[in-house]
Structure 1
Amino acid sequence: MTHHSLLHDGFLLLGFAMVFVLLFRRLGLGATLGYLVAGAVVGPQVLGLVGEADQKMGIAELGITLLLFLVGLELNPSRLWRMKRDILGLGLLQVTFCGLALAGMIALGTGFSTTAALALGLPLALSSTAQVLPMLQASGRMRTPFGERTFAILLFQDLSIIPLITIIATMSRNPADANGPPGWQLALFTLLAVAGLILAGRYLIRPLFRLIGNLGEREMFIVAALFTVMASAAVMETLGLSTALGAFVAGVMLADSPYRHELEADVEPFRSILLGLFFLTVGMMLNLHAIAERPLFVIAMALALVLVKTLVIFLIGLAFRMTWRGALALGLLLSQGGEFGFVLFAQAQNAYLIAPDAASLFGAIVTVSMATTPFLMALTKPLRKEPAKPQGEREGPAQADQAAAIIVGYGRFGQTVAQMLIASEITVTLVDRDIEMIDIAESFGAKVYFGDGTRLDLLRQAGAEEAQLILFCLDGDQISPDLVEAVHQAFPQAGIYVRAYDRRALIRLKKSPVSRVVRELMESAVKMARLALEDSGVSIDAINRAEDMYRTRDRERLKIQIETGDIRASRDRIITTPISDMPAVATESER
């Protein structure tokens, strides 16, 4: 019966989620709202097709855990250092001032106690990472200075959930919380747990991933990634601490490892599914009757939330010397409530700081505020549009942390390509699956990320959506025309360059949307032949004629082979005997 119920509920939840998410995406409202509405419709208060939301929430909260793990993976030390002013300045001021302003508004407008107003206002200061980041990516602004600042604020917001949970626990009226350990003891346990997790990551987790990478066990890499997240969260839960903090620390301790991109690509599908289930469950748990009794309150508070956050963020942006248009865009983009608000409202309810009806009402307020963002961004677009700058004053593309080129394969061939690009001041991201090669490269100062660069999801994680060049420098015949076509379809702005194993590979790839194909041995073979001829006393003119003769005949033969698809075509163009009676071919210098 349980097995049937699980399949039955899963079928209905996924079916309704698919319909509503597609509909809301089509309307430009985002996937998060689609999940929330789908959960409300399928839940006990509308159609009543699926119940037991409390039980499902235990599984769904893994989505939040995985989200914080991915946030931790973003904390590359060099990127953090470069963004420290925006993270610790913009982020801290935004959460603090928005939280206090909203808490004051709630206290004055509703008559709630100070602790209840803080338990509601501080979570409302957080925006929706799940909604804002896709909007930035869709508009192509993710790697711009504006996008970097937005990401810095969202990053600080995601990190602030840990201290916000601690603040709510400190204000708790729940006797169970009162009987818990004192604050100083919790702080000590937290520091010790974080230190232990970091040591475990360095001396246990990294060697584990290195072993799995050497064995080439693709599915075990996924198992190890999920094990790392859940083990870190379980350690924190055992100590009575935040499981989200454990997952976050797990991400941080692997952020600077060569496995970062592979981990992001592997965990992302699980994060997406479980986070969707989390929003579905929240939708099921919304008290629609309480909301229906006070619809004007929900709408008025949602509009007040958007107005207060926009104004506060606008003023902070001006203080950080943003243009008024940029500050307004930042305020509007972050004006909604976020997914972590639902988590913190549940914490506040468990701490007896707010009633269940208040949690449902403010959950609905967050939902309505999220629905306003796409419309506000569309309506204010003409106002926010920066005036055209004179030629020569346009800003260049953001290079930091977003490479202009992605090189897949860092062997003998890829190393030469990478060094020449870097010497020309083109930033590169290096990806390889050879653990030994990665370790050797690191000892020489090169940062190479572990991962299968022929996977579209991993290329996307590495920044291929904004890269100018994607260069496949892999050994062997690993690049197929289908792969090139898929990469071109996914990242049409990038030129695709392929190291071809042999003539057959080159013929296959010539009809694909590849920018250039290079036979890996041709130029070095021609070079060796020239050196041998020089050492044999052959004149430079004769050597040039021999090279031009070979290249011309090879080019003609290749053209016919591509047209016919027959590797044996035009065999008469192969030079197998001396051709003394052939007319001399003009050298490159004579053309």
Structure 2
Amino acid sequence: MTGYFLQAFIYLVAAVIAVPLAKRFGLGSVLGYLIAGVVIGPVVGLVGEEASVIQHFAEFGVVMMLFVVGLELEPKMLWAMRHRLMGLGGLQVVLTAAAVMAIALYFEVQWTIALTIGLVFTLSSTAIVLQTFNEKGLGKTDGGRSAFSVLLFQDIAVIPMLAFIPLLALPELVDKAQQLASTAAQQHQEVSLVAGLPGWAYALVITGAIALLVVGGHYLSRPLFRFVASSGLREIFTATALMLVIGIAAMMSLVGLSPALGAFLAGVVLANSEFRHELESSIEPFKGLLLGLFFITVGAGVNFAWLWQELGVIVLMTLGLMLLKVLVLLLLSLLFKIRKSDRWLFALSLAQAGEFGFVLVSYSVQNNVLPTDLAQTLLLVVALSMFLTPGLFIAFEKLILPRYRAAPDAREADIIEEQGPVIIAGVGRFGQVVNRLLTANGVNTVVLDHQISQVDILRSINVKSYFGDATRPDLLHTAGIEEASLLVVSMDNPESATELVKYVKHTYPQVKILARAFDRGHAYMLRRAGADFIQKETLLSALELGADAMKCLGFHPFHVEQQKNTFKRIEKRSSDILYQAWCDDSSGERFDNNYRKLFIELEETIKTAMTRDRSDKHSNSERGWTPPPKGYEEVLEGDEPIDPAAAKADITP
């Protein structure tokens, strides 16, 4: 027992130290786990032969990951991606396996071994790719969805590969294995429901297992989860989620199918369940920990003695494999019209061999298809390609993605054909509302935005807009800034917005500037730059939502309106004091202690004002506020005139 505790402590210490450091240096958690495994395994020697045993246990993290992925996919979504699943995934497996086999045959490798190598190398790492997609938020991109389609098809393809590989057994290896058959049987026995069954019976068992999984998951899971949830014990629900995944994995293993595929199908079946989010939150911690353990065991299992002995061959095979897979994937991205940076994300993310490669290589050795020495080399190629994958993601982020993000700016600004009294710089979610209100009241506006996609969307709905950077003086001149009355600044970049306000106020002081502020600090910077009117983007909407919340809690609508106006008045009155305190700070960029003290006093003032009885001290605006008459909304929706006499009678006490 002490030995298990020590080993667990070593693995956890390695993860706790290596992963945060890797994340800090931008390397990603996967590479951190791999490095931790190398350090505690081949480098320091703190772990040894047990790494391979632990790896089999840690592979359950891949099963859990695919279960969680399945929970995110509704069946109709899976059906919608069937073309890419079969077309893109199928072509990737076939083309990559054929290319690898052709290269192996060129080097006079026996065709059965060449085909097996092709099958091993055609797979990619589901664990590394999906984990990295989640960390970097790439899963929703076109490249990420395409990569997921390929990974899913690869996981499905493992099943026929496992059935086909034994047929490629080498006679000489079979004879050698038969001599050790009895010993091996004693050392390694696995329970199987399909061992020795004829083909038709095997097919029936598999069909029955999948049917049981789908039907049971759909009809039996809900009553089970309701029963467990009624206990009110979260740990029992977690135990139920683990029981479900482990049971599915065991059933798939008993019938000779991939546990990962079974878990994925179960997740898809449960994707529409009302317990989906609870299941996901229960499984997530175990999934992350076991995946991390799996990556550590991959690093710890690297055979450095064999690596140094065959270093040149292993490095060339690894780099050649990754280059070959990138070329195949780029070709497929052209056929399936994956464009721009998504094309490179798709190609680079799947360039490695995968964790199922370890399974296929070991399985091939057990079934006398691959010699042991060659298997050692292939295992190192798989591991080394997985090691290099985080570097490919870093190259994509640092080298490829910035080039494509900068590409739209290389386009020449549009020629502005007309002018108007109002120029709107930035027409995102905020600027669009301003523009719609002005144009609806007959005001001519000149709309500028530096995002070509946003301009194209507006043009598609007949909103005239121009592509260009509003901070460029020549573009402002073309837009008619000299004759304009107003400049509305609603740009997404706070720094650019502030610089634009400063430039226009200095160069064209007659132009009134109305600016959107992201927060209180940005509002102060805009005010110092010279903006005439500043609106914090969330203030009014937050006040309206707060007012609705008070009404839902039972406050009278008139009282809510009164309190809202009080809040706005105090906020406006105190803005000058807070702004002056912000300016008095030496840097003018942060909130010092004096500012914080004044802000706390403001909050106390608001609370005091809210508790004051103002029933006979209404402002003129509040005296004019009266509740609407009964049936007002129904009449308004029907566009029927309201009878003034009836309305007056309706509101008279």
CA contact (8 A) 1:298 1:365 kept: yes
CA contact (8 A) 2:330 2:344 kept: yes
**Any residues of structure 2 matched to 1:165-314 within 5 Å, and which?**
165-171=162-168, 180-314=196-330
Measure, in 2, the Cα distance between the counterparts of 1:565 and 1:37.
54
CA contact (8 A) 1:548 1:588 kept: no
CA contact (8 A) 2:566 2:610 kept: no
Measure, in 2, the Cα distance between the counterparts of 1:265 and 1:125.
33
Given candidates 559, 564, 574, the residue that maps to 2:613 is 574
CA deviation profile, 1:336-373 (whole Å, cap 9, x unmatched)? 22222222222222222223433332222123323152
Measure, in 2, the Cα distance between the counterparts of 1:138 and 1:235.
31
1:523 partner letter: K
1:522 partner letter: M
Correspondence for 1:358: 374
2:287 partner letter: R
Measure, in 2, the Cα distance between the counterparts of 1:106 and 1:26.
41
2:45 partner letter: L
Aligned residues: 454
CA contact (8 A) 1:209 1:221 kept: yes
Q: Compute the displacement of 1:29 (Å).
A: 4.2
Secondary structure at the aligned position of 2:546 is classed as strand
CA deviation profile, 1:41-61 (whole Å, cap 9, x unmatched)? 323785254442343234223
Correspondence for 2:99: 101
**Any residues of structure 2 matched to 1:6-45 within 5 Å, and which?**
6-43=4-41
CA contact (8 A) 2:68 2:267 kept: yes
Measure, in 2, the Cα distance between the counterparts of 1:36 and 1:525.
54
Given candidates 138, 143, 153, the residue that maps to 2:140 is 143
Q: Compute the displacement of 1:304 (Å).
A: 0.8
Correspondence for 1:388: 408
Segments of structure 2 that go 5 or more residues without pairing to the other structure are 182-191, 415-427, 430-517, 519-537, 575-598, 627-653
CA contact (8 A) 2:125 2:354 kept: yes
**Any residues of structure 2 matched to 1:575-590 within 5 Å, and which?**
575=614, 579=616, 584-585=620-621
Q: Compute the displacement of 1:527 (Å).
A: 9.7
Q: Please say if 1:114 is aligned against 2:111.
A: yes
Measure, in 2, the Cα distance between the counterparts of 1:549 and 1:200.
57
CA contact (8 A) 1:71 1:155 kept: no
TM-score of the two chains, using structure 2 as the length reference: 0.60
Measure, in 1, the Cα distance between the counterparts of 2:325 and 2:23.
25
2:36 partner letter: A
CA contact (8 A) 2:123 2:154 kept: yes
Q: Please say if 1:373 is aligned against 2:401.
A: no
2:33 partner letter: Y
1:388 partner letter: P
Given candidates 330, 339, 351, the residue that maps to 2:355 is 339
Measure, in 2, the Cα distance between the counterparts of 1:358 and 1:565.
76
Q: Compute the displacement of 1:317 (Å).
A: 1.3
Measure, in 2, the Cα distance between the counterparts of 1:360 and 1:228.
35
1:144 partner letter: T
Aligned CA distance change for structure 1 residues 44 and 376 (closer, same or farther; 3 Å): closer
Measure, in 1, the Cα distance between the counterparts of 2:158 and 2:55.
18
1:126 partner letter: L
Aligned CA distance change for structure 1 residues 243 and 525 (closer, same or farther; 3 Å): closer
Q: Compute the displacement of 1:72 (Å).
A: 2.6
Measure, in 1, the Cα distance between the counterparts of 2:304 and 2:563.
79
Correspondence for 1:86: 84
Q: Please say if 1:518 is aligned against 2:529.
A: no
Secondary structure at the aligned position of 2:358 is classed as helix
CA contact (8 A) 1:31 1:131 kept: no
2:62 partner letter: I
Aligned CA distance change for structure 1 residues 358 and 94 (closer, same or farther; 3 Å): same
Given candidates 135, 160, 163, the residue that maps to 2:160 is 163
Segments of structure 1 that go 5 or more residues without pairing to the other structure are 398-492, 494-510, 531-545
Measure, in 1, the Cα distance between the counterparts of 2:159 and 2:624.
67
**Any residues of structure 2 matched to 1:517-536 within 5 Å, and which?**
518=546, 522-523=550-551
Aligned CA distance change for structure 1 residues 136 and 205 (closer, same or farther; 3 Å): closer
CA deviation profile, 1:434-467 (whole Å, cap 9, x unmatched)? xxxxxxxxxxxxxxxxxxxxxxxxxxxxxxxxxx
Q: Compute the displacement of 1:571 (Å).
A: 7.0
1:181 partner letter: L
Aligned CA distance change for structure 1 residues 108 and 260 (closer, same or farther; 3 Å): farther
CA contact (8 A) 1:66 1:229 kept: yes
Aligned CA distance change for structure 1 residues 225 and 297 (closer, same or farther; 3 Å): same
CA contact (8 A) 1:548 1:587 kept: no
1:160 partner letter: A
CA deviation profile, 1:227-258 (whole Å, cap 9, x unmatched)? 00111122233344433343233222212222
Measure, in 2, the Cα distance between the counterparts of 1:14 and 1:55.
17
Measure, in 1, the Cα distance between the counterparts of 2:70 and 2:553.
48
CA contact (8 A) 2:61 2:290 kept: yes
Q: Compute the displacement of 1:285 (Å).
A: 3.2
Aligned CA distance change for structure 1 residues 556 and 233 (closer, same or farther; 3 Å): same
Q: Compute the displacement of 1:528 (Å).
A: 7.1
Q: Compute the displacement of 1:15 (Å).
A: 1.5
CA contact (8 A) 1:72 1:250 kept: yes
Aligned CA distance change for structure 1 residues 183 and 27 (closer, same or farther; 3 Å): farther
**Any residues of structure 2 matched to 1:121-136 within 5 Å, and which?**
121-136=118-133
Aligned CA distance change for structure 1 residues 204 and 526 (closer, same or farther; 3 Å): closer
Secondary structure at the aligned position of 1:336 is classed as coil
Measure, in 2, the Cα distance between the counterparts of 1:262 and 1:123.
36
Secondary structure at the aligned position of 1:353 is classed as coil
Measure, in 1, the Cα distance between the counterparts of 2:281 and 2:249.
20
- What RMSD in Å do the two structures reach over aligned CA positions? 4.0
Q: Compute the displacement of 1:95 (Å).
A: 1.7
Correspondence for 2:529: none
Measure, in 1, the Cα distance between the counterparts of 2:19 and 2:563.
59
Q: Compute the displacement of 1:312 (Å).
A: 0.9
Measure, in 1, the Cα distance between the counterparts of 2:54 and 2:618.
81
CA contact (8 A) 2:19 2:32 kept: yes
Measure, in 1, the Cα distance between the counterparts of 2:237 and 2:351.
38
Measure, in 1, the Cα distance between the counterparts of 2:406 and 2:606.
56
2:120 partner letter: P
